[in-house]
C-alpha cells in the first residue's frame, strides 16, 4: 500500500484529493499549517477531512517538520501555497516566502529522502492572457492590454491594428506571461520541482489547474476562487461584484475531476516530466457564472454589480486546451458546471460566510491596484 503525502492537504483541493486516494487504497498523510485566511483563527482539524488521514500541523517552510512528514512516504503532492492574484501584489514577501521558499525547503528534503513521484500544483495564472487568433486565422501571442486602453474601459484584447482578437483554448505550449507575483510564484514552484526532479531522478509532474470549484472552499477568504467569493456575497444577500464588463471568459472545473486528474498523474507512468492543463475544456463568462449561481441559490432577485474596473494582474480571457491530459493521462472531465453548482448550492445551505470582499477591494484601491 503506497503512502502519500499531500502538502496543503487540509484545504479545498487537498481534502478532496485525500478522499480520492483513500478510495483507491492509498494511505494518506497531510502536512498543513491551517492558515487563518483559509481555515479561520484558532483552526482545528477540519470536520470534512477524512478521519483516515494522518494530519501533521506545521509549516512547509519548517525543514524539520517537512523531514518528519516525509518519513515512510512513497510519493508527494505539493499543493501548499498562498492563493490570490490581487493580494500577492502587495504581500510580496509573504507570497514569495511560502510559495517559493516553501517549495525550496521541500525539495532540499526530497534530495535527502527521495520518493517515487512528485506532483506539483501549478496554475493557469502563469499563462497571463490565453491564446488568441487574428481575423485571418493566425495565432497571436504575447498580447497585453495597455493601461490607457483599460482606463478607457476598452476591455478586449486587440492587435497592433486595433482589431479585436478571438480567444481560443490555451495549450501547455503557450509561453508564460506571469502578470502577478502569485503567477510568478506558481511558475517558480512548477519549474523548481521539474528541475530538481530531473536532476535527482524523481519522476515529477506539473498540473496547471484552471478555475476549480466545489464544496469545502473557504467562503470567508476574499482571495479564493471566484465562485466561492460570489457564494459569500449571495449568502449575505449582497450582489457579486464583477470587474470589467463581466464578459471575460474562464474555464471552471469540478474539484472531483481535479482530484481524479491528480490521481492519474501519480499512476500513469508516461506522465513523468510533463505539465498538464487540468480544466473542463469549456469556457464561461464571469457574468454568466454569476447568473447561474443566482438561479441555483434562489437569489435571482440579486443582480451582479458590474464595476467597470480593472484589477492589476487580471487578464481578459483564458480557458484550457486539455488535449494533452486526455491523450497521456486518460483524463476526461465528468462533472458539468450545472451539476457542480447544484451540489455546491446544497452544501452552501449549511454554511456561514463572512463577506470580506469590501475590505479586500479597499486594500487594492488604496494601493492603486484597481483602475
Instruction: Supply the angle between the helices 337-348 and 286-296 in degrees, to the nearest 10.
Output: 50
For residue 27, what is its C-alpha cell? Answer: 494511505
**How many other CB atoms sit within 10 Å of the CB of residue 153?**
12
**How many other CB atoms sit within 10 Å of the CB of residue 192?**
18
Rounded distance between C-alpha atoms, residue 230 and residue 242, angstroms: 9
Q: Where are the alpha helices (DSSP H) in 133-254?
A: 147-151, 181-200, 226-235
Which DSSP helix (H) or strand (E) runs through 206? strand 203-209
Per-residue b/e over 267-293, b at no fewer than 16 CB within 10 Å?
Answer: eeeebbebbbbbbbbbbbbbbebbebb
**DSSP secondary structure code for residue 205 in this structure:** E
Rounded distance between C-alpha atoms, residue 246 and residue 104, angstroms: 38
Positions marked catalytic: 182
In sequence order, what are the beta bridge partners of 254?
Answer: 213
**How many other CB atoms sit within 10 Å of the CB of residue 109?**
20
* Burial of residue 103 (number of CB atoms within 10 Å: 0-12, 13-18, 19+): buried
Amino acid at each position: 500500500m503506497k503512502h502519500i503525502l499531500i502538502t496543503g492537504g487540509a484545504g479545498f483541493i487537498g481534502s478532496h484529493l485525500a478522499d480520492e486516494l483513500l478510495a483507491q487504497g492509498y494511505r494518506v498523510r497531510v502536512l498543513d499549517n491551517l492558515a487563518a485566511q483559509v481555515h479561520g483563527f484558532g483552526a482545528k482539524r477540519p470536520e470534512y477531512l477524512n478521519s483516515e488521514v494522518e494530519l501533521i500541523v506545521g509549516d512547509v517552510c519548517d525543514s524539520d517538520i517537512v523531514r518528519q512528514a516525509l518519513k515512510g512516504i512513497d510519493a508527494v503532492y505539493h499543493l501548499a501555497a498562498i492563493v490570490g492574484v490581487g493580494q500577492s501584489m502587495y504581500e510580496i514577501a509573504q507570497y514569495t516566502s511560502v510559495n517559493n521558499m516553501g517549495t525550496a525547503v521541500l525539495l532540499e528534503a526530497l534530495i535527502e529522502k527521495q520518493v517515487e513521484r512528485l506532483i506539483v500544483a501549478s496554475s493557469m495564472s502563469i499563462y497571463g492572457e490565453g491564446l488568441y487568433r487574428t481575423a485571418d486565422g493566425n495565432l497571436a501571442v504575447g498580447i497585453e492590454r495597455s493601461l490607457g486602453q483599460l482606463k478607457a474601459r476598452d476591455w478586449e484584447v486587440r492587435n497592433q491594428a486595433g482589431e479585436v482578437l478571438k480567444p481560443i483554448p490555451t495549450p501547455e505550449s503557450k509561453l508564460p506571461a506571469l502578470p502577478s507575483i502569485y503567477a510568478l510564484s506558481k511558475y517558480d514552484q512548477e519549474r523548481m520541482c521539474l528541475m530538481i526532479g530531473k536532476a535527482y531522478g524523481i519522476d515529477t509532474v506539473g498540473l496547471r489547474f484552471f478555475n476549480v470549484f466545489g464544496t469545502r472552499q473557504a467562503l470567508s477568504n476574499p482571495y479564493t476562487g471566484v465562485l466561492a467569493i460570489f457564494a459569500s456575497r449571495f449568502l449575505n444577500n449582497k450582489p457579486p461584484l464583477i470587474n470589467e464588463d463581466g464578459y471575460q471568459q474562464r474555464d471552471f472545473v469540478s474539484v472531483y475531476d481535479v482530484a481524479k486528474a491528480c490521481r492519474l498523474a501519480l499512476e500513469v507512468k508516461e506522465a513523468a516530466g510533463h505539465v498538464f492543463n487540468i480544466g473542463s475544456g469549456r469556457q464561461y463568462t464571469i457574468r454568466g457564472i454569476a447568473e447561474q449561481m443566482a438561479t441555483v441559490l434562489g437569489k435571482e432577485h440579486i443582480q451582479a454589480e458590474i464595476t467597470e474596473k480593472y484589477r492589476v494582474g487580471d487578464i481578459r480571457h483564458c480557458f484550457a486546451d486539455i488535449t494533452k491530459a486526455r491523450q497521456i493521462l486518460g483524463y476526461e472531465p465528468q462533472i458539468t458546471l450545472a451539476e457542480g453548482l447544484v451540489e455546491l448550492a446544497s452544501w452552501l445551505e449549511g454554511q456561514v460566510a463572512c463577506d470580506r470582499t469590501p475590505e479586500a477591494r479597499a486594500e487594492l484601491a488604496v494601493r492603486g491596484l484597481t483602475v
